[in-house]
Amino acid sequence: MPDNSDAPLFKKGAKLTNGYFTGDAYLLPLLARDKNNDFVIGNVSFETGARTNWHTHPKGQVLIVNEGVGFYQEKGKPAQSIKKGDVINIPENVEHWHGAAATSQMAHIAITNFLGDTNVVWLKPVSEEEYNTVNKQ
């Protein structure tokens, strides 16, 4: 039985056009919130150079990187390089961004917990200057 072992884990989802991403990013929904699961799960694919805006999660988020190389940065701290196989446990109410490197695409599963009906608070874009600084480290 073929298992597509050489293929990406997930197909690319729909292009994100909500204004909270820079560059080309795609979302494939994997699981909706329900009575057992107080979170939503999706796979986000970032083309080279693409990244989220700065944002916070009121009850945190877990990322499981499954393709490529990118960055995770909390405000006021150095960016961390993240790659396939890494798991990132993002604390609640900490301003941060994640995305692809300038030289690689990146994809991660995102498990995003809810606090009431909110699971993300979007802030301003990661500027070219901020992004370039991280990529030159």
Binding site for a copy of itself (CB under 8 A): 1-7, 9-11, 30-31, 34, 36-38, 41, 59-60, 62, 64, 66-69, 81, 83-85, 87, 89, 91-92, 101, 103-104, 109, 111, 113
Return the H-helix or E-strand segment holding 22.
strand 21-22
End-to-end CA distance of the chain: 44
| Closest to a copy of itself by CB, 102 or 123 | 102
> Minimum Å distance from CB 58 to a copy of itself?
9
CA distances, 13 to each of 27, 77, 120 (Å): 5, 31, 20
| Closest to a copy of itself by CB, 58 or 125 | 58
> Minimum Å distance from CB 19 to a copy of itself?
27
Asked whether the CA dihedral 19, 22, 27, 33 is positive or negative, the reply is negative
| Closest to a copy of itself by CB, 3 or 129 | 3
Asked whether the CA dihedral 18, 24, 25, 26 is positive or negative, the reply is positive
